[in-house]
């Protein structure tokens, strides 16, 4: 199952190390840590958030919708 784990390096609610560790056993999981983001990744770094999600979903996108 494709899994994307996004975390913010400045997250004070969920430690990025704990976030990565919680998905370490998920085969094929992709982890992305946004440098200047806290817990609200989409607010703190919207462009980086969209880029990370887009890069992850890109292979699954189809032209036929």
Residue 16, domain member (yes or no): yes
Per-residue pLDDT tens, the chain, 65 aa: give them. 888 989 999 999 988 788 778 888 889 888 899 999 999 999 999 999 999 999 999 888 765 55
* pLDDT for 52: 95
pTM over 0.75: yes
In the block, residue with structure tokens 């036929």: 64
Residue 65, domain member (yes or no): no
What sign for the dihedral angle of Cα 11, 17, 18, 19?
positive
Residue 56, domain member (yes or no): yes
Residue 19, domain member (yes or no): yes
Domain count, the chain: 1
From CA 12, how far away is CA 29, in angstroms rounded? Answer: 23
Tell me which residue range forms the domain holding 19: 4-60
* pLDDT for 56: 93
């Amino acid at each position: 199952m494709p899994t994307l784990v996004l975390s913010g390096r400045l997250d004070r609610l969920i430690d990025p190390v704990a976030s990565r560790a919680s998905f370490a056993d998920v085969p094929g999981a992709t982890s992305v840590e946004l440098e200047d983001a806290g817990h609200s990744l989409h607010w703190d770094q919207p462009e980086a958030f969209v880029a990370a999600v887009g890069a992850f979903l890109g292979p699954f996108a189809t032209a036929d919708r």
